[in-house]
Amino acid sequence: MKPISFPEHNIVIARDQPEYIQLPAFVHSNRVVCCWSLSWRERLQVLFTGKIWHQILTFNQRLQPQLLSVEKPELKR
């Protein structure tokens, strides 16, 4: 999986941090939206297993609510 840019993105998180993958995102108010693209192999794996694993680096801070979706959310400023 890799993060991809989309027309509404207004920031690139970790742009100047080579140790991390750059993350194009739409940031507004209290939410951050990003989009990921799956390779054909990953698509087949999800098709057969029905599973996606999600890891979050919290750096020992509280975990914030997370939401995974296959549908694009409404992105209004």
Question: 1-30: per-residue pLDDT in tens?
Answer: 999 999 999 999 999 999 999 999 999 988
Cβ neighbours for 67, distance < 8 A, ≥ 6 positions apart? none
Helix (H, G, I), strand (E, B) or coil at 26: strand
pTM of the model: 0.84
Q: What is the arrangement of strands in the sheet containing 31-33, beginning at the earlier edge strand?
A: 11-13, 23-28, 31-33
Distance, first Cα to last Cα, the chain: 27
What is the C-alpha to C-alpha distance for residues 49 and 70, in angstroms, rounded to an integer?
A: 16
What pLDDT score was predicted for residue 17?
Answer: 96
